[in-house]
Structures are given as C-alpha cells and as structure tokens.
Amino acid sequence: MPKKLETNFKRIETKYIVPKNQLDDLISDLKKYLVEDDYPTSTITNIYFDNKNFEIIKDSINHKYHQEKIRMRTYVAEPKPNSLGFLEIKKKDDEGVGHKFRIASNPLSITQFVTQGITDEHITDSDLIEEIHSLRERYENLVPRMFIYYDRYSLKEKHTIKGYSFTNTRVTIDKNLTFRDENVSFFEGKHGEPLLDDAHVIMEIKAPGHKPDWLQAILDKYGLEEKHFSKYNTAYHKSQKLPIKHSL
C-alpha cells in the first residue's frame, strides 16, 4: 500500500551547524538508534514567495504573524512545469512549535495560485486556499523571490530500540546549499551563491516533543549546540549584503 501523503505537520525543529570533519563519526553514532529513511538521499529545490521588498521575511525576522513563510518545493532532480511539487505554508504558534501545511500539485498551478490567486483542479484544499488568499491580501504582488537548493540525507528513528520508546524522531543533513534571488525558477538550473561555507553542513532534528536522552548525549559528545538557522532568512541577508548572525 502506498505511504499516505502527510499534509499537516506539527513538530519541534532544531538546527545545528556541523563541521564536515565530524560528519562520518556523527552519522555512525546516530545509526545506533536511527536507520536511513525510505528515500535517504534527495535533492530539494525550494522557491520562496515574497514581494519585491521582502516583506514576508522581514515580518518573520521581527516575529510578526507567527513567522510565516510561503514556499514551493520539489524533490524532482530536473523539474518540469507539470512535475510533482508542493505548496507549503510554514508558521510557528505562540509556544514556538512549528506547523507546516501543504498540498501536492505542480509548479505551474502553484505559481499561478500564489501570484494571481487563480485555482485549478490541482488546488482544492479549502483551508489552504483561504490561507493563501489572506496572505495575498496582506502582502501584495507576491512573486517567486528566492531560490534555495540543497542535497539532503535523511534518517528516521528505529521503531523498536531496546530500552527506548519510539518517539518518531527524524534527522536530516543538508549540504551543497545554494541560493539566488534572480531567475527564480525551477527551470533555470541549480546555479547560485553558497548559503554556507564549504566546511560545514546543516543538521536538523525534527521531533514531536523533546529530544530523547540518547540523542542529546550524542549532541553533547560532539559539542553541537542549537542554532536558530533559517535558510530563507540567511539567503535574504546574503542577497541584500546584510550582516549575518547564526542565531537567525
């Protein structure tokens, strides 16, 4: 039976900047408790929608409107206008828990919907439609504003671990992060500027609650501390030549 597509997510996400020279040993320790995901390696291409003045990301930086972001994502290596894509709205609640709402469609339909408010047979989720219309009223003239690409390696928690309960923890490692704010399209190649220096990768832990003790012990072993790193936030700062903080 095909795996059911998840369209609503509620989870705590924490990010870490990991030196590449620690990565092999770190993954080896993680694999004592984690296994590779069903699709462990993937290419991820994101387009963030915003207006000319980047008002959505500026409001997110200032913690307004639940730090919302609108993005289109595909896992297709060479996407076409009718390839599988996802429209996603990310936001945080008052407790800092991240929520993600998404629908499956294609890049052509998604872009038409976000930029013009026009739906077709591929855009049918009434709650998400209402949410996008509300965002279009708040932020006029939304366009594809930032392209962000990376390669991802994914691990998930084993269902049975002696002495530990299953908590549905996932770990992803992103490398080759690239961004651009010109020619923002899935169909213009993967070129751009580096989002992170070549000596580091981004590790993200996704969990429905607090991290399990075994995972915290591994983080402590490698001296890894949580960084509030946002890919879009960092890309915005770099594209506008603004000072960058790794507490973003």
- C-alpha–C-alpha distance, residues 87 and 123, integer Å: 9
Residues 70-93 pLDDT 10s: 999 999 999 999 999 999 998 877
Residue 186 tokens read as 């899935």
The encoded tokens of residue 83 equal 């390839």
- pLDDT per residue over 49-68, tens digit each? 999 999 999 999 998 887 89
Mean pLDDT, the chain, integer: 89
Reduced 3-state DSSP string for 67-99: HCEEEEEECCCCCCCCCCEEEEEEEECCCCCEE
pLDDT over threshold 60, residue 8: no
- For residue 248, tell me if it sits in a domain: no
pLDDT at residue 209 tops 90: no
Cα–Cα distance, 198 to 201 (Å, whole number): 8
Residue 98 within a domain? yes
Whole domain around residue 166: which residue ranges? 8-239
* Domains held by the chain: number: 1
Lowest mean pLDDT among 44-48, 182-186, 243-247: 243-247
- Residue 244 falls inside a structural domain: no
Reported as a single tens digit per residue, the pLDDT across 112-152 is 999 999 999 999 999 999 999 999 999 999 999 999 999 99
Confidence (pLDDT) at 1: 34
pTM of the predicted structure, to 2 decimals: 0.88
* Residue 43, domain member (yes or no): yes
In a domain, 118, yes or no: yes
**In this predicted structure, what is the pLDDT of residue 160?**
53
Question: What does the pLDDT look like over 106-115, one tens digit per residue?
Answer: 999 999 999 9
CATH classification of the domain holding 179: 3.20.100.30
Q: What does the angle CA 95 – CA 98 – CA 104 come to, to the nearest 5 degrees?
A: 150
